[in-house]
C-alpha cells in the first residue's frame, strides 16, 4: 500500500468565490497525465502521512471485502458495486468496484480521486484510497453505517423506521453545508453535478455526507457565466436549462438540491415510472400544490402521519419552491439556503427535545430573510 499527501485547497470567504487556484490544477493534471498521475505517487512509503488517499493493491481490497462476495454487497448502480470491507488495520470501509463496462470511465475515476484528495469538509465523504492495478478501478471510502438517504425514504420495509421531520431537516442542512463548501469555499468553485438522494450518505447519527464526485466540474471563473459540457447526471434531478443547453452553473446544483428537498418532504422519488402519468416526475406533480399554501399539507409524506409543524412545513416548501424555479437567476444562493434551513432544523430539534422551557432558536438575520423572501414567525 502506498500513499500520497493531498494538497490543501486554498480556503476563502463566501464573498470571494472567483480566484482561479487550488482545484484548477487538479483538473489540468487529470487531463494531461491520466492514470499515471495516480500510479506514480507515493510508492516509497506504506504509512499515511497527513491527509491523503492511499494506493492499495487489488489483492488487499479483495481480502478486505471478502473477495467481493454478495454477503458484503451494500450498494449497486451503473458505476458498479459497493462492498463493505475491513482493512488490515481493522478499519471498516466501503469499497466501490467500478464496472469496467459501466457508466463511470477512467476520466471520472481520476476526477473523483483528485477532487476528494483536494476537498475536505465534514459533509463530504472521505476518500481513504484507490486501486489502479491493471484494468481494475476501485475506490475506498469511509464506511457510512446507515447507507444512503434513498434507503430511508423509498420502498421502506415494515420494520424500517420512518425518518422524522426533524431528521429530514437535519439531513437537508448537512447536504446544504456540503454544497456551500463546494460553491463558496473551494477555489475555484466546484459544481457537484450529481446531487441526488442516493449520493447523500448517512452515519449512525444521520449526519449526511455528499459522495460520488466523478461528474464534478470546476465552476466558471472571472467573467465567465457558465461551463459548457456534455449533459450528464440523473433524470429528474438535472436543471432544465442544463439539460437543454449543456450550460452548467452553480444554480444547476441548486435545482438538484430542490429536487432532493422535495423527496424529503414528499417521500416520492425524483422520477418514478411506476406512478401514473403526471405523477412520475416529482417536480411536475408538486408544482400545483406549491402554488397554494392551503395545499402544502398534501405534499407531505403520508408515513409522517402528521408529525410535523405546519409552520415548519410552509417555510420548507417555500425554500424548496425557490430552488426549483425554472429560471436559474431566480434560485437562491446556497449560503442563504443554509441559514434558513439551519433555523428550521434547530426549531424542529428543540421541539422534539422538549415541548416547553427551551430557548427559542435565533432567527436568521433580516438580510437573509429578505434574499430568500421567507418570513419566519
Torsion angle of alpha carbons 169, 171, 177, 183, nearest 10°? Answer: -100
What's the distance, CA 9 to chain centroid?
19
State how far the alpha carbon of 268 is from the alpha carbons of 77, 95, 147, in Å: 19, 29, 18
Q: Which grid cell is 186?
A: 473551494
Catalytic residue among 194, 212, 253, 336: 194
- 247 near 230, Cβ under 8 Å? no
Closest Cα partner for 300 from 252, 263, 346, 249?
A: 263
| 194 closest CA partner among 232, 137, 149, 247 | 232
* CA 198 and chain centroid, separation: 8
Task: Dump the DSSP string for 295-351.
Answer: GGGGGS-GGGTT-S-HHHHHHHHHHHHHHT-SSGGGSPPHHHHHHHHHHHHHHHHHH
Answer yes or no: 133 catalytic.
no
170 known member of a binding site = no
Count of Cβ atoms closer than 10 Å to residue 368 Cβ: 19
For residue 272, CA distances in Å to 10, 87, 141, 235, 241 come to 41, 38, 29, 10, 22
* All residues at 6 or more sequence positions from 3 whose CB lies less than 8 Å from its CB, including other chains: 42, 45, 46, 47, 48, 49, 52, 53, 54, 55, 129
Distance (Å, whole) CA 11 – CA 19: 10
For the annotated catalytic residues, the residue numbers are 194
Binding region for ATP: 97
Amino acid at each position: 500500500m502506498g500513499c500520497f499527501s493531498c494538497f490543501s485547497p486554498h480556503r476563502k470567504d463566501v464573498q470571494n468565490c472567483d480566484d482561479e487556484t487550488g482545484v484548477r490544477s487538479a483538473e489540468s493534471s487529470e487531463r494531461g497525465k491520466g492514470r499515471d498521475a495516480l500510479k506514480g505517487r507515493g510508492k516509497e512509503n506504506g504509512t499515511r502521512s497527513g491527509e491523503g488517499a492511499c494506493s492499495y493493491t487489488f489483492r488487499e481490497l479483495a481480502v478486505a471485502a471478502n473477495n467481493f462476495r454478495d454477503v458484503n454487497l451494500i450498494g449497486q448502480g451503473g458505476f458498479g458495486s459497493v462492498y463493505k470491507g475491513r482493512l488490515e488495520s481493522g478499519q471498516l470501509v466501503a469499497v466501490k468496484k467500478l464496472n469496467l463496462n459501466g457508466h463511470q470511465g477512467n476520466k471520472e475515476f481520476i476526477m473523483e480521486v483528485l477532487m476528494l484528495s483536494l476537498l475536505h469538509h465534514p459533509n463530504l465523504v472521505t476518500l481513504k484510497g484507490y486501486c489502479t492495478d491493471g484494468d481494475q478501478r476501485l475506490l475506498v471510502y469511509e464506511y457510512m453505517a446507515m447507507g444512503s438517504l434513498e434507503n430511508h425514504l423509498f420502498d421502506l420495509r415494515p420494520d424500517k423506521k420512518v425518518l422524522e421531520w426533524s431528521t429530514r431537516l437535519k439531513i437537508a442542512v448537512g447536504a446544504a453545508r456540503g454544497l456551500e463548501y463546494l460553491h463558496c469555499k473551494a477555489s475555484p468553485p466546484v459544481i457537484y453535478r450529481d446531487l441526488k438522494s442516493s449520493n447523500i450518505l448517512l452515519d449512525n447519527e444521520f449526519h449526511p455526507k455528499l459522495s460520488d464526485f466523478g461528474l464534478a466540474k470546476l465552476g466558471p471563473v472571472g467573467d465567465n457565466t457558465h461551463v459548457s459540457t456534455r449533459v450528464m447526471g440523473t433524470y429528474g434531478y438535472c436543471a432544465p436549462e442544463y439539460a437543454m443547453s449543456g450550460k452548467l452553473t452553480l444554480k444547476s446544483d441548486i435545482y438538484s438540491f430542490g429536487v432532493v428537498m422535495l423527496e424529503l418532504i414528499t417521500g416520492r422519488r425524483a422520477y418514478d415510472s411506476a406512478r401514473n402519468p403526471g405523477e412520475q416526475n416529482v417536480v411536475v406533480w408538486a408544482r400545483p400544490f406549491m402554488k397554494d399554501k392551503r395545499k402544502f399539507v398534501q405534499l407531505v409524506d403520508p408515513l409522517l402521519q402528521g408529525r410535523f409543524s405546519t409552520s415548519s412545513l410552509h417555510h420548507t416548501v417555500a425554500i424548496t419552491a425557490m430552488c426549483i424555479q425554472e429560471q436559474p437567476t431566480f434560485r437562491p444562493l446556497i449560503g442563504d439556503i443554509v441559514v434558513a434551513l439551519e433555523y428550521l432544523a434547530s426549531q424542529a430539534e428543540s421541539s422534539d427535545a422538549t415541548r416547553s422551557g427551551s430557548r427559542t432558536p435565533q432567527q436568521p438575520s433580516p438580510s437573509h430573510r429578505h434574499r430568500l423572501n421567507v418570513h419566519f414567525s
